[in-house]
Amino acid sequence: MSYRIKTEPDRIRLSLFDHVTRADMVAGMAEMEAIERTLGRVPDRIADLSGLTNSDLDYRLILHVADDRRERKFPNTFRTAIVAPTQVTYGFARMFQTLMDNPMIEVRIFESVADAEAWLDTAP
């Protein structure tokens, strides 16, 4: 398993690291959905791709994740900050951002965790 999900008081933090497989992504999506259901209110999140060294990510998998998020009904709006410090991770993040068409979710891409946290710490 090459991901970690941490629930914090005001956000969810998803970290991807090492070699992320399709199975990791599917398991992570299911875990994230379960967390969101138990909280009642969907918090903002940081998806940190800075530890990613290799992956099975491709257009079809990114589309599958975006489709899942786009089609779901959420109890509130929330923001997703993606940390993508390399050209490769930025490419995956940008693909997700482009495909994500859910008015309940605002997605922005950052080069550092500090910048992502600063954006999430501002009032929407």
Per-residue pLDDT tens for 57-112?
888 888 888 888 888 888 999 999 999 999 999 998 999 999 888 889 999 999 99
Length of the chain equals: 124
User: CA-CA distance, 21 to 34, in Å (whole number)?
Assistant: 20
The predicted model scores a pTM of 0.91
Calculate the CA 9 to chain-centre distance.
17
Question: Residues of 4-35 as b/e, b for ≥16 C-beta within 10 angstroms?
Answer: ebeeeeebbbbbbbeebbeebbeebeeebeeb
What's the confidence (pLDDT) of residue 113? 97
User: CA-CA distance, 74 to 43, in Å (whole number)?
Assistant: 11
Q: Which domains occur in the chain, in start order?
A: 3-121 (3.30.750.24)
The pLDDT confidence band at residue 124, using thresholds 50, 70 and 90, is: low
